Structure formats: structure tokens, C-alpha cells
Amino acid sequence: MWTQLALAVALVVTIWSTPSTTIRYDGHEVLQILPQTIEDVHKLISLAKKYHLDIWKSPRYLNETFDVRVDPDQITDFVHDIESLGLKADHWITDVQKLIDEVTHTRNRRATFSIGAFNDHNSINSYLNSLASSNPRVTVHSMGQSYEGRDIRYVKISNNVGTNKKAIYADGGIHAREWLAVTTVLYFIDQIANNPTQDRTIEALLGKFDFYFAPVVNPDGYEYSRNHDRMWRKNRRPVVSGCYGVDINRNFAYHWNPDNGGSHNPCEEVHSGTHATSEVETKILQNFLCSHSNLIAYLNVHTYGQYWIYPWGYTPILPSDYRDLDHLGRTAATAIRHTHGKVFTVGEDTRVLYAAAGGADDYAKGACGVKYSYTVELRDTGVHGFVAPQSYIIPAGEETFAGFKAFATELIHYEHL
């Protein structure tokens, strides 16, 4: 009996303490630096590249911080270099692993799906299937398979009345570690499909639009981020020996250019790929975006920084219809602010400071003609960054969905739909 018990305990201990391949971030800091000029921003980006650092956030406007993760061996040298530029580094997160552990500790680890939890890819797909089988408004479809063979699913939500409707599409999880983007798209799905509060606005929107939602468009990266490396961003294709993954949101075939906000180096977080559309996930998304000619709006959902921004990402030159995009973005941001007080900045992707070519939003607008194409960066602005706690899921869903409803409602009036 005791032997069996001891064996059982030993087994449990072994399972729990299996030297897993989980990557740890003990002592890693996230520094916030406030650049004074555009030149400062460029110098900071070069410096981060020199140290091969993980840039968490580049400022899009002056008076915003440059956030960067630094490993313990590099902190002294890096801070010295920052100071020699005449800048000051604030130690925002002093131990990334501690933050991950705190958030994980309070995490709901149930395998069953919940709108208020960070669910795994399998249970998300099962949820989409069960929704489709129980709700006549919902159909579930596959966009295709990821590099590792995971099914990239999306739902279509329609009241099935009328023809030739315009459509709105939103997706999440293109960057693996941005889990709150996944939960927020799932929140949208639940609200529109089930309309739990019998909101008449939702019924009105379904009278004018069909909706498409894909909660996890980079499932390999997402699962890797859940199981092995909380800070993973890219997909999981082996590129060169020892380095995996391409940043899908730098890989789209519209003015693709690794020298413009991306990287040629496969070991870096923003690797743009060896050529445009080198990744199967990019190809799948491009096909989806261009094959639905009724799409009028697209939200590519990310964390963090609280932005509602529009193309172009590859150039500071504004699109000719930027006033329309700006107006609709401001409508969304106002509704967001009125929900939980969060302030979202609206503007063009690049706006002088930060360019990134090869993004999904540029492709949707430039290559597929989806007029209202946005990148939405959810909360927060400097508390948890990428390591959003479970307690953010519902409020982030509520405020972003309020923005989404206001946006779609205004779109009906603005475009005379």
C-alpha cells in the first residue's frame, strides 16, 4: 500500500517536475524609455537590434514609451547605452517570470471552454463547432491548416435574411502571445451569436451585415505560447537550424519589406520571412480576405497599447480616404472610453514614428479593397503588457465590443447601407 502510494506520489512528482522545455524569464526586465525625438526612436530600435532584444512596444507617437524586454546579463550594458543617448530607462517590469507566474497562478486551468478563460485551441474549435450545431445563425468553416496541421476555423454569423449584405471580419491571435486578442474575438462571437442581453443593436446589425470571426489565426504559435514559451510571437515553422517562426503580420504581400519594421533574421521576433507570403498561415488569410468581396471592414486584433489604427503601416503617406477611416475609428474609441474609461488612440499605423510593412491590415485594404481595415491594440498601457491576467478578459471584451457595435452602427449611416 505504502509502496503503491509512494510510487503514485513519485509519479505525480515526476509529471509535475518533468524537465519540460518551458522557457523561463527569471530576472528579465521590461524597460520603458521615453524618446524625445524621432531620432531617439530610431536609435532605440537600432540599440534593441544590436542586443537582439524583444521589443514589446514601439511608440507610434511622441510622448509614448518604447518598451523592451532585456535579459539579466544585458541590463547593465543596455541601460548604460540608453543613458549615453541622454535618455532614461524606467524599470517597469522587474521580473517577467514573476508576472507570468502570478497570472498563471490565478488562471482557470479547466479543460472545458469558458468565455472568461484563456482556452486552448482544441477547446476553442470544439466551442465553435458546438455553437454551429446549436445556433442556426452560426456556421463553422475551415480556412485551412497551419504549418503543424491545426485547423484554422472561422464562424459566419448571419440572420439568414436578405442577400448581398456587406460583411465585417475580425481575427485574433496572429501574434501568439496576445491571448487577450483571442478571448476578445470569442467574446464578439458569443455576443453576436447568442445575444445574451437581447440587445436590439445586435439584431439591427445582423439586418445589415454578415459577420466573420476567426479567433486563432496562428494556432501553432498560440499553443506554443501556452505550453512552452509565454513570450512567443511568431508561427512555428523551422526556418534555419535553431530558429523557428516568421512574424505572420510582417509577411503579407503588400509592400512587403523586412527593412521596414521587420527583420531578415529568422532568430528575431519580427522576422518577415524570406519572401512575401512564405508562410502557409499568411497564404490562408490572404485567400480569405480577398475571396470575400463583400467585406467592408476588417479588424486585426492585437495587444497591447490601446490603439485603433488604420493603414498604411508601410508608409507615413495617408490613404486618400483616411478621413473615413479616422471618423469610424473615433466612433469606436468614444464608445470604448464610455465603457470602462480606457482611452484608445486613433490614427494612421505609421504616423512618422513607427513603420511596419507586410501587415494584414495593409494587405486587406491595399490588395483586397477592404476599405475599413484596422489594427486594434487592446488594453493595457503599461501594467501587464502581453501578460494579461484573466481578470482582463471580460472587461476587455465588453469595451472592445462596445467599440465594435458603435463602429458597425455608424458604418451603416456613414455608408448609407
Instruction: Give the active site residues.
Output: 377
Q: Phi and psi at residue 345, in whole multiples of 5°?
A: -90, 135
* Grid cell 503514485 in the structure block, residue: 8
Integer Rg of the chain from CA: 21
- Residue pair 189/141 in contact (Cβ under 8 Å)? The answer is no
- The size of the chain, in residues, is 417
Cα-Cα-Cα-Cα dihedral sign, residues 15, 235, 46, 96 = negative
Closest separation between CB of residue 310 and Zn ion, Å?
16
Q: Give SS3 for 139.
A: strand
Task: Name which of 40 and 279 has its Cβ closer to Zn ion.
Answer: 279
Copy the grid coordinates of residue 196. Answer: 445574451
For the chain, the first-to-last Cα distance in angstroms comes to 73
Contact indicator for 230, 174 with CB cutoff of 8 Å: no
Closer to Zn ion at the Cβ: 175 or 236? 175
Min dist CB 233 to Zn ion, Å, is 7
Binding segment (CB under 5 A) for Zn ion, from list 43-51, 85-93, 172-180, 208-216: 172-180
- Region binding Zn ion by CB under 5 A among candidate stretches 175-183, 204-212, 323-331, 398-406: 175-183
**Total of residues contacting Zn ion (CB under 5 A):** 2
Least distance from Zn ion to the Cβ atom of residue 145, Å: 22
Q: Kindly tell me which of 175 and 230 has the beta carbon lying closer to Zn ion.
A: 175
Distance of CA 225 to the CA centre of its chain: 13
The C-alpha cell at 299 is 479588424
Give the residue with the Cβ less far from Zn ion, 167 or 284: 284
Q: Which is nearer to Zn ion, 175 or 365 (CB)?
A: 175
Q: Which of the stretches 111-119, 155-163, 170-178, 396-404 binds Zn ion when contact is defined by CB under 5 A?
A: 170-178
- For residues 405 and 363, give the distance between their C-alpha atoms in angstroms, rounded to a whole number: 24
Q: Characterize 22-61 residue by residue with b for buried, 16 or more Cβ atoms within 10 angstroms of its Cβ, and e for exposed.
A: eeebeebbbbbbebeeeebbebbbebbeeeebbbbbbbbe
Smallest gap, in angstroms, from Cβ of residue 42 to Zn ion? 21
- In the shown chain, the binding pattern of residues 297 to 336 toward Zn ion, with x for contact by CB under 5 A and - for none, equals -----x----------------------------------
Q: Is 177 in the site for Zn ion (CB under 5 A)?
A: no
CA distances (Å), 23 to each of 118, 207, 227, in order?
19, 48, 9
Q: CB of residue 305 vs Zn ion: minimum separation in angstroms? A: 9
Q: Sheet harboring 29-33: ordered strands across? A: 54-57, 66-70, 29-33, 89-93
User: What x-and-dash track marks residues 84-113 binding Zn ion by CB under 5 A?
Assistant: ------------------------------
Q: Which window, 95-103, 151-159, 171-179, 329-337, contacts Zn ion (CB under 5 A)? A: 171-179
Nearest-approach distance from CB 301 to Zn ion, in angstroms: 9
| Min separation Cβ 300 and Zn ion, Å | 8
Dihedrals phi, psi of 73, to nearest 5 degrees: -65, -20
Choose between 58 and 277: whose C-beta lies nearer to Zn ion.
58
Least Å from the CB of residue 249 to Zn ion: 6
Nearer to Zn ion, 89 or 358 (CB): 358
* Stretch in the footprint of Zn ion (CB under 5 A) among 60-68, 294-302, 338-346, 405-413: 294-302
Draw the binding track, 12-51, toward Zn ion (x: CB under 5 A; -: no contact): ----------------------------------------
Q: Is 175 in the site for Zn ion (CB under 5 A)?
A: yes
- Residues engaged in binding Zn ion (CB under 5 A): 175, 302
